[in-house]
Amino acid sequence: MLNQQDIERVCDASHDDPFSVLGPHRMPDGRVSVRAFMPGAQQVLVIDADSGRVLATLAKRHDDGFFERVLTAALHSTYRLHVRWADGSEMVMEDPYRFPPVLSDLDVWLLGEGTHLRPYEVLGATPSELDGVSGTRFAVWAPNASRVSVVGNFNHWDGRRHPMRLRRECGVWEMFLPGVMTGALYKFEIRSRDGQVLPARADPYALRSELRPATASVVATMPPMIPPSAERQRANALDAPMSIYEVHLGSWRRIADENAGGPGRWLNWDELADSLVPYAKDMGFTHLELLPISEHPFDGSWGYQPVGLYSPTSRYGEASGFVRFVARCHVEGIGLLLDWVPAHFPTDAHGLGNFDGTHLYEYADPREGFHNDWNTLIYNLGRTEVRNFLVGNGLYWLERFGVDGLRVDAVASMLYRDYSRKAGEWIPNAHGGRENLEAISFLKRVNEVVADQRPQAITVAEESTAFPAVSRPTYVGGLGFHYKWNMGWMHDTLAYMARDPVHRKHHQGEMTFGLVYAFNENFVLPISHDEVVHGKGSLLNKMPGDRWQQFANLRAYFGFMFGHPGKKLLFMGCEFGQQREWNHDQSLDWHLLDDGPDSHLHQGAQRLVRDLNHLYQDTPALHSLDFVSGGFEWIEHNDADRSVLSFIRRGLDDRTCMVVVCNFTPVVQKGYRLGVPQPGSYRERLNTDSAHYGGSNVGTPLGIATAQQVAWNGKAWSVLLDLPPLATVMLEWKA
């Protein structure tokens, strides 16, 4: 019989090896001892699983519900437990402690080594069948815990009932719970090394989570693998058009809820598929980019403080709905990028912080492990298991949902140990430098895995420093991203556009400096959510002048942006001139398009963005050589007195080119002579001052300028143009 000390430790949930105590145990003489811990049970019988015949009645060894009996004969078949509870109810159940380990030796080896490409397939909660019995496999990494239990609505959230088995080789606690099926709520109750029972933790690998403010994980099935697509790979190529519509799903559009009132309810995945995707397609965007959709407890974080990195947020429905949403995007020819956050995580009690009573996922020293800007914890990217968790997560979204790419958030904060820290507030690397060598290695690893396992997908870095070769392959010393956000271009050009036109001639370099380094990286030109929050105002309201001039400036800027080398990104609402600053708690102001004195101007801005997108897609000269210096040539960038910029965009086919001319003053420039690259006719393809867009309809007569053999701007040929006020004009030449 079992000694009393082991029984006491099982009853108070302090035993570190419950499988050595509970379940069936063969005695030296061949008999079997069966032990069960059933708090609240009056009687526990061992019965034959096939016939239901009673094999033994377990003796109660402890008042808390510990039962044990040495069977008089060896077990020759599978058994079950018949339990009679204190309230008189009865049930027959499988004994979870009779099942073998659930992790294979190979899984244990790869997890311990930190090289398991898809750890999410073996960690977390996995509905499965073991020994012919349906249930769920649970596994969680907590190497420094003294005990880990699965708790849930299937065991009264009682950490005494289902303590797990520790696989010491990899620090993973595991258990198969028969009868626990999809939809069950669960967490992990962890006792630290010093005996403290920690707040119950959500599963780091949970595939589904409760809707906030509830925080439990939910047992869910794994989405099927989405096969690679050559079509999607072509759409993500460097020479393909890429115009990205950045969206916060909770505030793009809401539906009035008569019961809830207020700002209305969120759209679910199917409603978004039926509304957002067709809108993006109609507007000519090639890609959608979603602010983080991993589960996050606080709406105001916009998803950038996720707790459930593997769990699509429950705000918009189940993961199956997200699968359908992605599929709808692809049917309509729209790529889908996700904002991904491997830089930091929040301090919520049910999350990853101090996970097993130690600084498991984060650096222990706050000089390395705490973000002062965001009050978040920083992943310890020097720990193999943490790297494995994150690399596997990136692959999970790409493979299991067919997502086209990951926009990696806050890369600059990852690359430098002194990011947003004063002297003495950071720890140098092993060589005494400021670079975070672990993070650099991690980012290279992510990009190499994506390139190898999912070559159709792309990664995009939100990186605001001069760190070299961010979008160059790792085999030539780069970080391996496909694209990098051009934050410098965004800051410079918006600063210029915010100036009164009378002062712009003194700041022409803010619009031209981006071309000094435009081909050092594969750049995306981002007008993102960060530019329309926190008191910065909307994009429209950054523009100076009266209402007409604000819209004219906005249209001229859009034209300049779409003519400039680099892929494009525009945050939702900017395309129609959202007037107020973005608020994540309510819908965009779609009513601006329908009524009010400025509705024609909002409609005009929206029509312009639609036309720019379609022209951009249909014109190889505007996108095919985005990252090659031969695809761009200045005509005139020194005409600061008139605040005019002009340049040429070329594609692979030298039989066509696009001349882009921007007038950033409210003065019509009649008879403006401009050098052009070759003789022939230059047809106006787009004029942001068109009445169709709410402009004054000034332009070159008949929209065609014929080259004259008059040398100008260093070219043998030139044209005479009437430049509209505060406008961009695109003129196409064809052989």
The set of catalytic residues is: 409, 462
Contacts of 300 (CB under 8 A, 6+ apart): 584
- Non-local (6+) Cβ contacts of 566 within 8 A are 486, 489, 518, 523, 524, 525, 626
Residue 632, beta-bridge partner list = 649
CB of 325 closer than 8 Å to CB of 335: no
C-alpha distance from residue 97 to each of 17, 80, 81 (Å): 11, 11, 11
DSSP sequence for 322-373: HHHHHHHHHHTT-EEEEEE--SEE---TTSSTTTTSS-SSB-SSHHHHEETT
Instruction: Give CA angle at 29 (23, 31), nearest 5°.
Output: 35
Q: Parallel, antiparallel, or unpaired for β 567-571 and 632-636?
A: unpaired
Strand-pairing partners, residue 129, are 134
Euclidean distance between CA atoms 358 and 369, whole angstroms? 13
C-beta of residue 553 within 8 angstroms of C-beta of residue 496: no
Q: Which residues pair with 672 in a beta bridge?
A: 721
Distances (CA, A) of 344 to 204, 437, 485: 14, 16, 19
Measured CA distances, 215 to 121, 187, 207, 510, 697 (Å):
22, 9, 13, 47, 56
232: phi then psi, degrees, rounded to nearest 5? -70, -35
Residue 47 burial (10 A CB sphere; 0-12, 13-18, 19+):
middle
- H or E segment to which residue 289 belongs: strand 287-290
User: Residue 731: beta bridge partners?
Assistant: 659, 684
- The CA distance from 308 to 209, in Å, is 7
Contact 555, 688 (CB under 8 A): yes
Q: Secondary structure of the chain: what % helix, strand, coil (to 5)? A: 30, 25, 45
Residue type, 344: H
Element (H, E) at 423: none
Render the burial of 259-296: b for 16+ CB within 10 Å, e for the rest.
Answer: eeeeeeebbbbebbbeebbebbbebbbbbbbbbbbbbb
Question: Per-residue DSSP letters for 677-708?
Answer: SSSSEEEEEEETT-GGGTS----SGGGEEE-B
Cα–Cα distance measured from residue 458 to residue 481, given in angstroms and rounded to the nearest whole number: 7
C-beta of residue 576 within 8 angstroms of C-beta of residue 605 = yes
From residue 381, alpha-carbon distances to 58, 388, 437 in Å are 50, 9, 9
Strands (E), 131-265: 133-141, 147-152, 165-167, 172-178, 185-191, 217-218, 243-247
